[in-house]
Structure 1
């Protein structure tokens, strides 16, 4: 029973990490209808911004804020000077471009920050809480991770459901011409969507790096699991992204704890295939196909 409890708590924290990255993918999909595979190296770069400041002697929270701000700026610049010039009539070209950005940003990080492993601090404890003679596998940083992701999903739901800006962003993503006729400044909305997605991606990078090692490829594995979590919950649903991350994190933690860690990637692939076969739109998708 103790092993099961520990495995579930580990999966909960891991699932929230996947959910944070999935939220970034969902946000940019809802705002621009693009799957951004460059989200991982963008988050990696902003994490290095925080690390440089922390290593220079500044506080963790100053580095944290600087990483989020740099993510906001980086996302806006990528949309304004790269994505915007791709042929909008093609759905595949922007995706291919984000894969190219993935490679370019990796190389840039290695040149600027180096390829060696560097320790990244955590603002809270990394040891589980002690209850009597039992150590609970939930750390202070794990609680911070859970609360951060829940706060982000609440803010995103409020943004898209109850604000004019959220409605304009969704209108710009679905039909730019109609949105322009209604007076929406589509270019600004698309830039804002990329900027906000990069902020959420930066948060995921900070949560993943906390208490671990940072190097130019430290986010590469997360992009796979984050994408699976986003598809599992539904690319249009922030709540679904969190649920998908939790389902994936708990499932993979159980597989790792009771079957074998070498089967984790295979289990993630099996979950993705099952969802695509049974419910292609995701478990929390609300859009249904129209029949004529």
Structure 2
């Protein structure tokens, strides 16, 4: 029973980080109708900025802030300098460009920092606090929960309570009509890319202290898990991304704990395949109008 409780809390911590990363994918999809396969590489690039700033200043929190700002700037740059010039008549065009961006970013990071794993320290203790004789959550785990909760609430308010969120959604679904109504479609798309990259940078800063370390390819498997979480919940649903992230985190924890860590990626891929076959739009996808 103690093992099950430990794996459950470990899965919840993994899940909320995956939920933050899945939210970044949902943000891009809602803003630009693009699945950003470069999200993992962009996240790693932001964490490398944090690593450099922390090494120069000796302050984790200055590096943390630098990573978020770097994410916002990188997202803006990718949209303005790359994605804005992609022909969106076929969805495959943006996918190919995003995959090319992955190779470019990973190559630049490898040439700049090398291909060795660099240690990423956690800002708070990772020693589990004992409650009722059970070692459950650490101070760092509580920080992760709090950070993701703030992001989820902020994004929910943005999309449901502000005119900017409505304009972002309108620009993605009906850009031509939005322009006629005076919406700055280009600006809304850029804002979506910036916010998504900022959330991705946050997810990278939260997950890498729990992994092997910082590496140009460090987020590859994390991206697969987060993409699965986004697909499970529905690419149009921020709430679905959170639920999907927690579900994938629990599956990873249970499979790793009871079967073996080598089997966990296979379990995630099986889940992704099952959802794509049974409910391709995700468990929380909204109903679509039927066209005759």
TM-score interval, normalised by the smaller of the two chains: over 0.9
TM-score after normalising by structure 2: 0.96
Partners of 1:122 and 1:252 in 2: how far apart? 22
Query: Would the aligned equivalents of 1:119 and 1:211 in 2 still touch at CA under 8 Å?
Result: no
1:289 CA displacement:
4.3
Whole-Å Cα distance in 2 between the matches of residues 291 and 90 of structure 1? 21
Aligned to 2:141: 142
Distance, in Å, in 1 between the alignment partners of 2:160 and 2:32 is 17
- Alignment RMSD, CA only? 1.3
- Secondary structure at 2:91's aligned position in 1? coil
Offset from partner CA, 1:23-77 (integer Å, 9 cap, x none): 1000110000000010111110110111111112331111111110011111001
Does the CA contact (< 8 Å) of 1:231 and 1:272 recur in 2? yes
Residue 268 of structure 2 aligns with which residue?
Answer: 268
Name the SS for the 1:119 alignment partner. Answer: coil
Runs (4 or more) in structure 1 with deviation over 6 Å come to none
Separation in structure 2 between the aligned mates of residue 73 and residue 202 of structure 1, nearest angstrom: 11
Partner in structure 2 of residue 172 of structure 1: 171
The alignment partner of 2:227 has SS state of: helix
The Cα shift of 1:257 comes to 1.3
The equivalent of 1:199 in structure 2 is 198
Deviations 1:241-272 (A, max 9, x none): 01000011111211111222222122112211
Deviates more, 1:25-34 or 1:14-23: 14-23
Show the counterpart of 2:239.
Answer: 239
Do the aligned residues in 1 keep the contact of 2:16 with 2:242 (CA within 8 Å)? yes
> For residues 131 and 40 of structure 1, what CA distance do their matches in structure 2 show?
35
1:109 aligns with 109
Preserved contact between residue 2 and residue 134 of structure 2 (Cα < 8 Å): no
Aligned to 2:50: 50
Kept after mapping to 1: 8 A contact 2:25/2:227 = yes
In 1, Cα distance between equivalents of 2:96 and 2:289: 27
What are the residue-to-residue correspondences of 1:1-292 with 2, within 5 Å? Answer: 1-131=1-131, 134-210=133-209, 212=211, 213-292=213-292
Instruction: Return the TM-score normalized by structure 1.
Output: 0.96
Gapped runs of 5+ residues in structure 2? none
SS of the equivalent of 1:129 reads strand
Q: Secondary structure at the match of 1:137?
A: strand
Q: Which runs of 5 or more residues in structure 1 are unaligned?
A: none
Post-superposition offset of 1:277: 2.4
C-alpha contact (below 8 Å) 1:31/1:173 kept by paired residues: yes
Deviation at 1:211, TM superposition (A): 5.2
Work out the CA distance in 1 between the residues paired with 2:154 and 2:72: 16
